[in-house]
Amino acid sequence: MFIIDAHLDLATNAISLNRDLTKSVGSIREKEKQLGWTDTQDRGHGTVALPELRKGNVGLVVATIISRYSAGGNPLPTLNLPGWHSPEQAFAYGQAQLAWYKVMEDVGEMVQITSWPQLQHHIDLWADSDVANTKKPIGYILSLEGADSIINFRYLEKYHAQGLRAIGPAHFGPGRYAAGTHADGSGLTAIGKELLREMDRLKIILDATHLTDKGFFEALNIFNGVVWASHQNCRALVPGERQFSDDQIKLIIERDGVIGGALDTWMLYPDFEMGKNDPKALGINLEKLVDHFDHICQLAGNCMHIGFGTDLDGLFGTEQTPYDMDTIADIVKFEEILARRGYTREDMNNIYCDNWLRIIKKAWM
């Protein structure tokens, strides 16, 4: 089964965390343990690398650039890197991450997807059983997680020319275009509202993940194009402003959007304490994500609005993932869980890839 993961921070791991993602997860873990690295909680516990994506049949990812601006140097959560002190610095750092993706293309590890014909060709390649998965490039659709590095709209044009096809205006805390997680009560800025209009013009997909409640409703009132939430779970099951309320989920459904289920245990278990709680001791397994899928399907009356946006390399590792998942290759375990829950083969196809393909086609055709 061809699988799409709608949210991975590959370049952040490669550039910020100095991980050679062409190596296996096991070798990356061992290297970090040998070096004694402890700068982030996931050192020696990572779950994502290109070989494991191939093992799990994850042939297409929405891959991010993350580059924050913060006049006060507000750091990325759990990462010892400050927000850049100017948008110009943020853009330059974003270009460093983009350069990594381009090098991965040069060596045949990845391929950027920017159009529907390209995507169809890529899917055909992955369907060819005569070609081993080890010989197939991982397709990626480029997305910005947080829009801070867009210096002005001329730079939005630059990004688009470089293949950018989705933007999440917010990330954590205050932002130039929108407030994000932990900045509840604030919404879009004036230039954030204008950004959405420019995104509409360029047919760039809006990623509603990380928007505050206020910003979410403002954004969907302004933006007319395709909307998804690449890595987002349900507030009804795990309280907190990082999750979507039922009203937000219903609005995404009304817009024919898709919500990507995230595998961060902080988003799967109420009051999970990062760096303290043990997922196994708390019984946090892969079933927990399917609880969120079930909830969205009940609100929708069908399975057309869910998919995977695992965020498995989002600055956490096995210390903060379901205990029955070792690497992203284990995403195939959901087949058995979904079947046991009563999902049909057609449902599984929709969840693994077809729901994402439907709205990508709508954005690009």
What is the percent of the chain where pLDDT is above 90?
93
What is the percent of the chain where pLDDT is above 70?
97
Q: What is the pLDDT of residue 125?
A: 97
pLDDT tens profile 102-117: 999 999 999 999 999 9
Q: What is the pLDDT of residue 184?
A: 85
Q: What is the pLDDT of residue 298?
A: 98
Confidence of residue 76 (pLDDT cuts 50, 70, 90): low
Say if residue 185's pLDDT is above 90: no
Average pLDDT, the chain: 95
pLDDT tens profile 118-153: 999 999 999 999 999 999 999 999 999 999 999 999
pLDDT tens profile 246-279: 999 999 999 999 999 999 999 999 999 999 999 9
Could you tell me which residues are beta bridge partners of residue 143?
Answer: 64, 166
What the chain holds in terms of domains, given with CATH numbers, is: 3-364 (3.20.20.140)
pLDDT tens profile 325-339: 999 999 999 999 999
Q: Tell me how far apart the alpha carbons of residues 358 and 106 are, in angstroms, rounded to a whole number.
A: 29
Q: What is the pLDDT of residue 183?
A: 87
Q: What is the pLDDT of residue 80?
A: 52
Say if residue 78's pLDDT is above 50: no
